[in-house]
Amino acid sequence: MSNTIISILDKRFKLSIPNETILEKVRALANKINADYEGKNPVMICILNGAFMFAADLVKCLTFQPEILFAKFASYDGMESTGKVKELIGINTDLSGRDVIIVEDIVDTGLTMFNILPKFEALGTKSVRICTFLQKPEKLEVDLKVDYVAMNIPNDFIVGYGLDYNGMGRNYKDIYSVVDN
């Protein structure tokens, strides 16, 4: 996995963010979250599938005790373009009165988070914050407050560290960006 160019299906990707940098950024972000939530007991919700690797590294750096849940969204057809989410799957815990931190892999247009936030607020949560590993600030299309961002990146399509290309590439510990579109 040390190659700087990898092939996944029909595309080639080049090394963009090595794992050492990723872990430094995760630790720096965890320090901010630790300062904000010291002595509190928030619920951290890892959004599947893409955020599993980020969430695993992040929670190891926390100095408070969160409750850790996993959620997935059923989407309408064409979720990629509209971000419309139909249903929250996997939250059987009562979130009323709880501080919630949503842990996401990447905020691109912001539509997914924009549509997910009201679903959590409707559950009577005390607070809901968004924590994402990556954000593509130039692509943001909605008025979305992203509370915690580990890294801002350009608009390139990326894979690795939990992120996939047609279901593949999630297992890479580094992040790669597409070479040929």
Residues with catalytic function:
108
Q: d(Cα 147, Cα 61) in Å, to the nearest integer?
A: 18
Identify which of residues 124 and 154 has a Cβ nearer to ligand 5GP in the complex. 154
110 sits near ligand 5GP (criterion: CB under 6 A) = yes
Q: How far is the CB of 37 from ligand 5GP (least distance, A)?
A: 23
Category of 160 on φ-ψ map: left (φ > 0), alpha (ψ -120 to 50) or beta: left
- What is the CB neighbour count within 10 angstroms for residue 63? 12
Contact stretch for ligand 5GP (CB under 6 A) within 27-35, 69-77, 98-106, 122-130: 98-106
Ramachandran quadrant class, 176 (left: phi over 0; alpha: psi -120 to 50; beta: rest): beta
Residue whose CB is less far from ligand 5GP, 94 or 142: 142
Q: Which two tokens stand for residue 18?
A: 């090595």
Asked if 158 touches ligand 5GP (CB under 6 A), the answer is yes
Binding residue count for ligand 5GP, defined by CB under 6 A: 16
53 forms part of the interface with ligand 5GP (CB under 6 A): no
Q: Which is nearer to ligand 5GP, 45 or 158 (CB)?
A: 158
Helix H or strand E segment including 178? strand 175-178
Each residue 2-41 as x (binds ligand 5GP by CB under 6 A) or -, in order, gives ----------------------------------------
Strands 67-75 and 43-47: parallel
- The number of beta carbons lying within 10 Å of the beta carbon of residue 145 is 9
Chain-centre distance for alpha carbon 130: 9
Write out the H or E segment, with its range, that includes residue 150. Answer: strand 148-152
**163 binds ligand 5GP per the rule CB under 6 A:** yes
Cβ proximity to ligand 5GP, 37 vs 73, nearer residue: 73
Quote the CA–CA distance of 113 and 155 in Å, as a whole number. Answer: 18
Q: Which of 85, 112, 117, 148 binds ligand 5GP (CB under 6 A)?
A: 112
Binding site for ligand 5GP (CB under 6 A): 50, 83, 104-112, 157-159, 163-164
